[in-house]
Amino acid sequence: MKTETKVLLFAALFVAVIAAVYWFTSYEDTGAVLLAVGSLAYAFMCAYAYLQVRRISHGPARPEDLEDGQVVGVVEIGYFPAASVWPAALGLGAVLTALGLVFGYWFLVIAAIIFLGAIIGYAVEAQVPH
């Protein structure tokens, strides 16, 4: 978690600097506020990761936090599903839902059919084989 905390802190500071540069070069309110809110979002994630580091620091260090960590032996990690088209179908359903809110409720029917079909397809495909 120490590495994750450092990455999130860097991201929060980077987006904050970009927000300041954007404001002083464009004086455009909306973009500067959105970048500042993005920086705050990274800062909240960084604070959460830091609190988790403090909470679990009493136990043994995680392997990824060790400076001299090594992989020992071959370990069964688990089941990972194969490449799938269903995440793209879920994204298409989400985009069509947003378009339905803009262009009309009849569009939501099409979005709901695609979205529901993608959820069912993804759930059926992701079942762990016995």
pLDDT in tens, 83-115: 788 889 999 999 999 888 888 888 889 999 999
Q: Which residues contact 45 (CB under 8 A, 6 or more apart)?
A: 8
Say whether pTM exceeds 0.75: no
Cα–Cα distance measured from residue 17 to residue 22, given in angstroms and rounded to the nearest whole number = 8
For residues 108 and 3, which has the higher predicted lDDT (pLDDT)?
108
Q: Which of 17, 8, 9, 10 is nearest to 35 (CA)?
A: 17
Look at residue 39 in the predicted model and tell me its pLDDT.
96
DSSP code of residue 126: T
Cα–Cα distance measured from residue 101 to residue 109, given in angstroms and rounded to the nearest whole number = 11
Look at residue 95 in the predicted model and tell me its pLDDT.
92
